Amino acid sequence: MAWDACGVVVVGSGAGFGGDGRRDLVFVSYSRDDAEWAQAFTGFLKPLVRVRRLRLWIDTANIRASEEWHPELDRAISQSHLALVLVSARYLRSDFIMETELPALIDNGVRLAPVLVGDCLWRRVPELERIQWLDDPGRHGALGLVADQVGERDRRLVGAVGSTATTVRG
């Protein structure tokens, strides 16, 4: 098992990935423009990764240079139990995410665990509007609204991470 700098378990097409039918990955779905939020969540998830032997999949840690990324993405989705979905206007404007990645997660029966990181029209996306969010966007708003308030931002990140632990167990 290999770890990246954020504590993400690095998995790839090698041994233990892709052939044993396990669905124990937590897939991080985000827009590349929201990479700072993905990094923040993976950092906060590190204790869960360590203690629970949780396997986290994020493209920047799990797809190496020269690898074909689409088969790796498909393989990760097929092994995922849960997807941490970091929603923002950038996420919703991505044709790849909305037409390929999000439908693949849903079609593979991956449980979606969305967190609103930036204000957007998420209520206009039926796949997101009808499910329970980790951090109630209707009550709390987007995490991006408190990005410069480190204490509040971190409190909400910890809350969402705690919800992730509950979701993974459930």
Mean pLDDT of 143-159: 66
pLDDT of residue 43: 85
E-strand spans in 36-103?
Answer: 55-57, 80-87
Render pLDDT for 105-137 as a digit per residue (tens, 0 to 9). Answer: 999 999 999 999 999 999 999 999 999 888 778
pTM, full prediction:
0.76
Higher pLDDT, 7 or 159: 159
Residue % of the chain over a pLDDT of 70 = 64
CA distance 4 to 31: 20
Render pLDDT for 95-112 as a digit per residue (tens, 0 to 9). Answer: 999 999 999 999 999 999
Confidence of residue 9 (pLDDT cuts 50, 70, 90): very low
